[in-house]
Structure 1
Amino acid sequence: MIQYPSGKKVNSKQKSLGITSRRGMSLEEDINKTNEAYLFKDRAVVHKKPTPIQIVNVDYPSRNKAKITEAYFRHASTTDYQGVYQGYALDFEAKETKNKTLFPLASLHEHQLNHIKAVKRHGAIAFLIIRFNALDETYLIFAEDLIKHINQDDVRSLSIQWIRSVGYEVSGTYQVPCDYIMIIDDYIKRSSYDK
């Protein structure tokens, strides 16, 4: 590890990739930029799902200056991202936390967890990407590990120790800041995953 004057440690792999910090970039921005790179390279097709809203009132001062003044969520959204990679359906949720020691499960809504369980049951590769902003660490946790852990006990949070032991740290580059497909590749190779 190299200690920089800011006090932020950077490992040699990050240094060789030119990554010293993701501060200022949200997880969603990183995933969106990554998905654009995957699409451009014809590696995967993954998109952020729009939040379903009902527009109630629009102010039309002029044709090109229409402004939505009132809108409501139609219903609870499911997960953030959906796509396809080498014939496999992908479905995942992305969450961030400022906490250094745990991820509170209250941040993952019940309808989102139910959706993850349902798409997994129907054959999709389902997972959760969690970023610990204070630690500058991002992890991918597969649905089966998450569901098994939640079903074992009355779990209200995921400890950083559990996430580090079960999850996969997501690395990246400037062009692909959250390269989760590398982890999906490994998952497909080591499992007897059927399409």
Structure 2
Amino acid sequence: MDFRYPNRKPASSQLQTVGRTSFKEKEGNRSFANRGMTFEDDINHSNLYYLQSGKAVIHKKPTPVQIVSVDYPKRSAAVIKEAYFKQPSTTDYNGVYRGKYIDFEAKETRNKTSFPLNNFHQHQIEHMRQVTKQDGICFILARFKTTQEDFLLKASDLFQFWEQQQQGGRKSIPKAFFEEKAPSIQLGYNPRIDYLEIIDKLFFAG
């Protein structure tokens, strides 16, 4: 089957395999400092742990696909010959934790000193605003890939920089802002990225 992105390039060279590592893997086989997994792998691994431990139900939203060519070799079978990945309309992940709706986007950058705002799209910002207005828990998980640091930034802080950009301000969020305002998340074993521990402190404390 030929999957392609909106730019018409084949998806085979761009797709990454995710979610194959079981969280039952023995601790001795993987160091806490091992960043061999992708950011998405780490998050999916964490969500699987949360689900199987009964702590939360959070899933990655499937990427919408537009089918453009289907072959029917038999009446009982259909083979998709060509399809295109559409641009996601909202954010990467959503679910429920402690009775609250959770919605977040996960992004990474190789930039050492700032996080470019072009990682986000206007429709994603609008979606996150709507979630926030409904008292949902909304945030971004950001990874500075070069320095191997992960942060959780509340959506309200992201909106601040997005508005400044639209008014001619800077087009990125300084890393110093993350270090001051966004709690860092240390890579662990089970879960790999324990972002719910941060959520407890930011949204449920007091």
Give the Å deviation of 1:92.
0.2
In structure 2, the residue matched to 1:83 is 95
Give identity over the alignment, percent: 44
Instruction: Give the aligned partner of residue 159 of structure 1.
Output: 174
Query: Is residue 93 from structure 1 mapped to residue 108 from structure 2 by the alignment?
Result: no
Unaligned runs of 5+ in 2: 1-29
Partner of 1:103: 115
Q: Deviations over 1:159-192 (max 9, x none)?
A: 111111111111232221111000001112336x
1:190 maps to 2:200: no
List structure 1 segments (4+ residues) > 6 angstroms apart after TM superposition: 60-63
CA distance in 2, matches of 1:155, 1:172: 30
Question: After the TM superposition, which residues 28-47 of structure 1 pair with which residues of structure 2 at under 5 Å, given as runs?
Answer: 28-47=40-59
Which residue in 1 is equivalent to 2:151?
139
Long gaps (5+) in structure 1: 1-16
How far does the alpha carbon of each residue in 1:88-131 deviate from its partner, in whole angstroms, 9 at most, with x for none? 10000000111111111011111111111111111110000011
Whole-Å Cα distance in 2 between the matches of residues 28 and 77 of structure 1? 18
Counterpart selection for 2:134 from 119, 122, 130: 122
Name the counterpart of 1:179.
194
Shift of 1:56: 1.4
Say if 1:18 and 1:73 are closer, same or farther in 2 by CA, change over 3 A. Answer: closer
- Note the aligned Cα RMSD (angstroms): 2.4
- What corresponds to 1:21 in structure 2? 34
Tell me, yes or no, if the aligned pair for 1:21 and 1:136 is still in contact at 8 Å. no
Q: CA deviation at 1:68?
A: 3.6
Q: Would you say the 8 A contact 1:27–1:131 is kept in 2? A: yes
| Secondary structure at the counterpart of residue 47 of structure 1 | strand
